[in-house]
């Protein structure tokens, strides 16, 4: 066993998902944090359309890790898997997602939030102490639309993020962040018309939320008040070096240090933007080329002198690639390492300290 390797699980589209793809389910990948090398670990779990994954590190049990996968189909479900010490996955069961085409799942402690794209429904589920899926505790629909006729004919819940005591849901169809407590809808934060909010990332302080606008190709800044559960839009910048609404479609967004990173489908780059003015203003700094249609990425933090890396999923390129983050500028650079994975959609790191890689 070589303890330097980190474990990644990769969600894919499969032949029985909607949309269909070529993936085998949840794939297992080993990552070398010293070099950025990626090694195939095979299919860890065969399940329909696990297009987004989430990790619960608080579950009781020998390993304490449970992975949740949406099953993106018209009749949506969510499936839970326990992570064993040899990085295998054992299914714990599945439950209906409460809506159609679930595309995002958020796990925090004893609660799971599922975003259903097709009808905009957001559902909340209890989690058992061992991480198993429990009863659905709430189900919220929504109404409204936006000016982009073919994408905003109705609500489309695209992702959820917990910020303090509230859960925010990005609704691509209505240009809003929907705000929920555990059992009630609290309100909305309006974004510019036609923004098409997709994913969110909160600053460590919780006082700012950054939002990728899939339809207007911009990164939006929301000033957030954790005490009241309210926010206001305070500005935006282009997601890449050029204004590109209609040809570039931002996807995943992450805050890492004093930088905001966004994957861009169309331009096929990862953009880097430093944070200024207490978090209210972003400044586009650089675009780093990625593979075709980069859907999602994750930051793998270095330890014991290793650099930080970013691992990105190029969905249309059927591959993963790794980037080394420059510790000074924060700009990521291609390591040259690639790994073929069919229709990769989501990359989920699992802490290595309890996992052993079998040779």
pLDDT in tens, 131-146: 999 999 999 999 999 9
* Neighbouring C-alpha atoms within 13 Å toward the C-beta of 86: 5
pLDDT in tens, 286-320: 999 999 999 999 999 988 788 999 999 999 999 99
Q: Is 208 within the bounds of a domain?
A: yes
User: How many domains are contained in the chain?
Assistant: 1
Report pLDDT for 183: 79
Q: Is 359 within the bounds of a domain?
A: no
Confidence of residue 1 (pLDDT cuts 50, 70, 90): very low
Q: Which helix (H) or strand (E) holds 348?
A: strand 344-350
Q: Calculate the average pLDDT of the chain.
A: 94
**pLDDT greater than 70 at residue 179:** yes
| CA distances, 245 to each of 82, 87, 177, 216, 238 (Å) | 41, 41, 20, 5, 9
Q: Is 226 within the bounds of a domain?
A: yes
**What whole-number distance in Å separates Cα of residue 168 and Cα of residue 13?**
26
Tell me if 67 sits within 8 A of 33, measured CB to CB: no
Residue range 253-261: mean pLDDT, rounded: 97
**pLDDT greater than 90 at residue 247:** yes
**What whole-number distance in Å separates Cα of residue 112 and Cα of residue 127?**
7
For residue 256, the Cα-to-chain-centroid distance in whole angstroms is 14
Q: Is 1 within the bounds of a domain?
A: no
pLDDT in tens, 95-112: 999 999 999 999 987 999
Percentage of the residues of the chain whose pLDDT score is greater than 90: 90
Report pLDDT for 59: 73
Report pLDDT for 182: 76
The residue among 355, 187, 332 whose CA lies nearest residue 254 is 332
What pTM was estimated for this model as a whole? 0.96
Range of the domain at 295: 6-354
Q: Is 266 within the bounds of a domain?
A: yes
Name the least confident of 79-88, 172-181, 188-197: 79-88
For residue 200, with 0-12 CB atoms within 10 Å meaning exposed, 13-18 middle and 19 or more buried, which class applies? Answer: buried
Residue range 267-286: mean pLDDT, rounded: 97
Q: Is 34 within the bounds of a domain?
A: yes
**What whole-number distance in Å separates Cα of residue 264 and Cα of residue 195?**
15
Return the number of other C-beta atoms located less than 10 Å from residue 204's C-beta.
9
Name the least confident of 16-20, 259-263, 302-306, 321-325: 302-306
Tell me if 191 sits within 8 A of 220, measured CB to CB: yes
Report pLDDT for 352: 60
Q: Is 19 within the bounds of a domain?
A: yes
The first and second tokens of residue 168, run together, are 């925010």
Q: Is 325 within the bounds of a domain?
A: yes
Report the greatest alpha carbon distance in the chain. Answer: 55
**What whole-number distance in Å separates Cα of residue 258 and Cα of residue 201?**
13
Name the least confident of 194-208, 212-226, 253-267, 301-315: 301-315
Report pLDDT for 64: 73
Report pLDDT for 128: 93
pLDDT in tens, 214-227: 999 999 999 999 99
Query: Where residue 190 sits, what CATH number does that domain have?
Result: 2.130.10.10
Place of tokens 């209890």: 126
Q: What 8-state DSSP symbol labels residue 143?
A: -
Confidence of residue 2 (pLDDT cuts 50, 70, 90): low
For residue 7, with 0-12 CB atoms within 10 Å meaning exposed, 13-18 middle and 19 or more buried, which class applies? Answer: buried
């Amino acid at each position: 066993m070589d303890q330097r390797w980190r474990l990644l699980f990769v969600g894919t589209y499969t032949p029985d998902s909607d949309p269909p793809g070529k993936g085998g389910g949840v794939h297992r990948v080993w990552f070398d944090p010293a070099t950025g090398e990626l090694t195939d670990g095979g299919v860890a779990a065969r399940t329909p359309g696990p297009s987004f994954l989430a990790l619960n590190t608080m579950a009781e049990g020998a390993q304490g890790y449970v992975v949740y996968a949406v099953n993106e189909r018209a009749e949506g479900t969510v499936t839970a898997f326990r992570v064993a010490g040899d990085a295998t996955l054992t299914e714990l069961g599945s439950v209906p997602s409460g809506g159609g085409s679930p595309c995002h799942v958020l796990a925090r402690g004893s609660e799971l939030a599922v975003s259903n794209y097709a009808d905009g429904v957001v559902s909340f589920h209890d989690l058992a102490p061992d991480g198993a899926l429990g009863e659905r505790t709430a189900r919220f629909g929504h109404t409204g639309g936006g000016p982009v006729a073919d994408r905003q004919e109705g609500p489309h819940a695209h992702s959820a993020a917990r910020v303090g005591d509230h859960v925010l849901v990005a609704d691509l169809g209505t240009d809003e962040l929907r705000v929920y407590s555990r059992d009630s809808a609290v309100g909305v934060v309006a974004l510019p018309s036609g923004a098409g909010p997709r994913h969110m990332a909160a600053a460590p302080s919780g006082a700012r939320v950054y939002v990728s606008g899939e339809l207007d190709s911009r990164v939006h800044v929301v000033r957030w008040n954790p005490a009241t559960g309210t926010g206001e839009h305070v500005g935006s910048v282009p997601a890449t070096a050029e204004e590109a609404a209609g040809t570039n479609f931002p996807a995943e967004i992450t805050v890492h240090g004093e930088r905001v990173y966004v994957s861009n489908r169309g331009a096929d780059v990862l953009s880097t933007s430093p944070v200024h003015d207490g978090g209210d203003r972003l400044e586009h700094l650089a675009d780093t080329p990625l593979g075709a249609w980069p859907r999602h990425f994750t930051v793998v933090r270095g330890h014991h002198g290793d650099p930080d890396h970013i691992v990105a999923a190029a969905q249309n390129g059927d591959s993963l690639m790794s980037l080394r983050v420059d510790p000074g500028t924060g700009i990521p650079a291609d390591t040259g390492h690639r790994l073929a994975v069919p229709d990769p959609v989501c990359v989920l790191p699992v802490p290595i300290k309890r996992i052993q890689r079998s040779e």
